[in-house]
A and B are shown apart, each in its own frame.
Chain A
Amino acid sequence: METLQTDVAIIGAGGAGLRAAIALAQADPKLRIALISKVYPMRSHTCAAEGGAAGVIKPDDSLEHHFNDTVSGGDWLCDQDAVEYLVQEAPKELIQLEHWGCPWSREPDGSVAVRSFGGMKKQRTWFAADKSGFHILHTLFQTSLQFASIQRFDEYYATELLVDEGRCAGLVAIEMRSGQMRRFDARAVIIAGGGAGRMFPFTTNGAIKTGDGMALAYRAGVPLKDMEFVQYHPTGLPSTGTLLTEACRGEGGVLLNKNGRRFLQDYGMGPETPLGKPVLKTMELGPRDRVSQAFWHEQRKGNAVPTQWGDAMLLDMRHLGEKKINERLPLVRDMSISYMGVDPVTDPVPVRPVVHYMMGGIHTDIKAATSLPGLFAAGECACVSINGANRLGSNSLTELLVFGRRAALSAMEYVQSGARPTGDTALAALGAAAQGRVRELMQRSGGTETVAGLRKEMMRTMEQHAGIYRTGEGLAEACGKLADLRRRYSGIELHDKTNVYNTDLLQALELGSMLDCAEAVAVSARERKESRGAHQRLDFVERDDQNYLRHSLATHHPGDAPRIDYRDVVITTSQPGVRDYSGDHK
C-alpha cells in the first residue's frame, strides 16, 4: 500500500478543517500538513450555512451577554469554561476572516454589520447576505491556496484510524478515483468531518453528512458525547428539506399556523411583538428547540397547514418588502420560488422543522484534544461542549473558526513535544488489516441486503422514535431496530465491485458510519430520563438537574450496543436557571 509521511493529517476540509490547516501553516511553515477530504473542499457542507457567525462587536454588547445567551440557550449543558473561550476568541476570528477577504455585509460607514438571531439578547451575528457559510468556506479555501505546506488529498475517503501503542498514528483512506488504498503516517490527526444528519430522512444536511469522522474516532475507542441532542431547525422547505435561514425571522419574518395566528405566543414566547419589529430573544427570535417544539404541539392540535408534503407552518416575510428581501435574503427568495413555487415577496412560504445539526459528537476537552493521544477534533463532529443541549444559531460557524484553530495549536504542541512516529512494521500490519476489511466488503457475495434498503429502514426508525418528542417505549424500539440493522449490515452485498469511483462502496461505508452514530443517538436518548433542550421526552417532561446535569458518553462496543457513562458539566458563573423567552424576561 502506498504510504505517505506527514506531521498533521486533517480529515475533513470544511470550515474547521481548512481553518486548522491555515493555522498550522501559519504557525510553522515547516510542518507537513495533509488535508484529506472525501469531497473537494468547496463542496463541504459549510457552504450551505446561511445566517451568519456570532461575535461580540457592538458597544452595548459584552462577552458576558454572549456567554449567558449561549449557556442558557444550551439549557445549562454547556461546559462554561469552553463557552468563555469561544465568546472571547470569536471577534478576533471573525476579524481575521475579514482580513482574509470575507465579504461581510457592511454598515453605511464601512464597518461590519451584525444582525439579530434566535436566542441572542443583542445583535452580534456577522453575516454575508444570506450565504455566510458559503462565503466563509470559499474565503478559507482560497486563503489556504497560498500555503505550500498544505498538501491536499481531494476525494479520499478515510476508513480507519491507525492506533498503535495507545496513540493515534495516522489513518488509511481510499483514493476514490482509483479505488486504491493509501496509508497516511501522521504524528497527529485532526478530525473535522462534520455531523451525521443524514441518518434522518428529512434534513437540511447534504448527502455527505454521514458522520464518518465521528465513527472513525468512536471505533478507535473515543466516546461520543451528548449524541441524543439533535437540533431541528424550525424553517426547512417541506419539499426538499433544505434550509431557509433563521435570518428570515431575524429580519422580521413571522410564523403563522393555519388560522393566521402567530402561535409562538401560546408557548411561553409571547407577548406578540409588532410586525416587522422583532424583539430579540422572544417570539420568532426564540431558540430553535422551543420553536420546533411549538410546531409539534400545534400539529397535534390540528393547527398545522396541510401541504402535499405533509404538515407545515407559514413563514410570512411579505411585510419586509422586495428591496430588503433581495438585499438580505436573495438565496431564500430563489429557493422558495424554485423548490416551492412560492415568492416570499407576495406569499407566505410553507416551512417545517427539519433535522439540522448535531450538538453531540466526539468528546474533546477545551483544547480540542480527545482521550486518544494524538487525536484532536473540531467543528460539528466534535462536542467540547459549547452548544450543550441546544445550539444557538450562528454559534456554529464561529465554533468552526475558534476550535479549528485551537485544534491546530494543540496538534502542533503535541507534535513539537516530540511525538515520535510509530514503527513502520506495526503500521503496515494495521494498514493491511484495514485494507482487508474493505476488501471483504467489496468482494462479499451471497448477501441479501442492500445499502439503500437498510438506510431507508434506519431513517424511518430515527424519524419515528428519535424525533422532536420521544418516549421510553419508542426509544427502546429504536435501539432494538438499530442493533438489528447493525447485524444485518454484514449481510450487504455490493452491486458494484469495480474500483474506479465506486459510489456503491462509498455509500455502504457511509451507512456503516451512520448506523454507529444512530445507535449512539438512540441509546443515549433512552438513558437520559429527562427533557432538556432539544431532547424532549413525553414520559419525562421536566429537566432533572439533580441526576442529569451531566454529559452522556457513549463508548463503542464492537458487535454490541454502546455503553453509556456520564460526566459532570463544567459550571463557572452561570447556575442553572429557567430559560425565559417571554417578552417580560430581563
Chain B
Amino acid sequence: MSERLVELEVLRYNPETDSEPRFQRYSVPCQSEWVVLDALNHVKDNLDPTLSYRWSCHMAVCGSCGMMINGEPKLACKAFLRNYEGVIRVEPLAHFPIERDLVTVIDDFVTKLKRVKPYLIPKQDKPVSEGEYRQTPAELKKYKQFTLCINCMLCYAACPEYGLIPKFIGPAAITLAHRYNQDSRDGGRDERQKEIATTEGVWECSFVGACSEVCPEHVDPASALQQVKIKSTVDWYKEHLMPWLNK
C-alpha cells in the first residue's frame, strides 16, 4: 500500500463566524487508491471535525457528494487522487448558494424536480390484479438511459445557462420529464409540456452540452433536452398549421 501526502485546499464558510467564504489548507496522508472523499473523511476524523459536507454511499449512486474539484463538478467518491497532481482545490457545487462549508442549498432543484410532474400518468388505467403493463425490451430501452439520474446536480453546476439565469428549470428536471414522456406506459406528456415547453423550460437551453460531459451516470441530459425541443417544435407547427388535428 503506497502512501502519498496530498494538499487539499477547501473552501470553508460558517455564516455565524464568516462574512464570506475562505480557503483552508490541509495536508492529508492518503492511500494511493483513495478518492477525494476518503481524504475529506480523514480530515474530518483526524484534523478538523468542524468540516461539513454531504456523503453516504461511496459508490456513486446516492448523489450526495457532488462538489467542485479543481473547478470541475465531480462526485467526491469518484474523484480518484491518482488523477490529480499538486494542490487539489475543493469547493461546494457551483450555481447553488452555500449553506455551510461544502454543503449547498438545493431547494431550487428540489422544487423544479417536483414541478415537471416526474411520475407515471398512465395512458390506461389498469388494476393491480390484472398484472403488469406489458413493455418490450425495446420500449424499455427507449427511456432507460434517462432513468439513471442520481440527482447529483453536477449538470446544474456545469450549465452556464443555469448559472446566469437561475429560473431555468435545468437539465436533470427536464430529462426526468422526458424519461416519463418516453415511457410507453405514460400518457402525461401534455401536462408536462405546460411546464417544460416554456421559456424557462427547454427553450432556455442553448445546447452547450456541458451537462452531458459532467454527468457521472451517462444519462446524457443534453440529448434529452434536444429531443424535447424537436418534439415541442413539431407540436407547435401541428398546432398552428394543422389546427384540425386538435381535439
Residues of A within 8 A of B (CB): 39-40, 42-45, 47-48, 92, 95-96, 98-101, 103-106, 108-112, 131, 134-135, 138, 142-143, 145-146, 154, 177, 206-208, 239-240, 242-243, 308-309, 331, 334-335, 338-339, 341, 450-452, 456, 494-496, 498-504, 507
Contacts and interface: CB of A to CB of B under 8 A. Distances in A.
Nearest to B55: A207
Contacts of B186: 101
B87 interface: no
B49 A100 contact: no
Contact of B63 (A42, A208, A496, A499): A42
Given A43-B64, A501-B52, A239 B33 contact: yes
Interface size class of B (residues with CB under 8 A): 35 or more
Contacts of B58: 206-207, 240, 242
B62 A206 contact: yes
B62 A108 contact: no
B119 A101 contact: yes
Interface string B117-159: 1111010001011011111110110011001101100000000
A311 to B, nearest CB: 15
A99 B133 contact: yes
B144 A499 contact: no
B64 A495 contact: no
Contacts of B150: 42, 47, 134
A146 B117 contact: yes
A195 B45 CA distance: 22
B19 interface: no
27 contacts: A39-B64, A42-B150, A42-B151, A43-B57, A45-B62, A47-B61, A47-B150, A48-B62, A98-B132, A99-B133, A101-B119, A103-B143, A103-B144, A108-B136, A110-B134, A110-B136, A143-B120, A146-B117, A177-B105, A206-B62, A338-B80, A341-B33, A450-B49, A452-B45, A494-B49, A500-B14, A503-B52
Nearest to A143: B119
B56 A242 contact: no
Nearest to A108: B137
Say what secondary structure dominates the interface of chain B: loop
A112 B140 CA distance: 11
A177 B106 CA distance: 11
Contacts of B78: 338
B100 interface: yes
B68 to A, nearest CB: 18
Nearest to B137: A106
A101 B180 contact: yes
A103 B119 contact: no
A131 B132 CA distance: 20
A450 B59 CA distance: 27
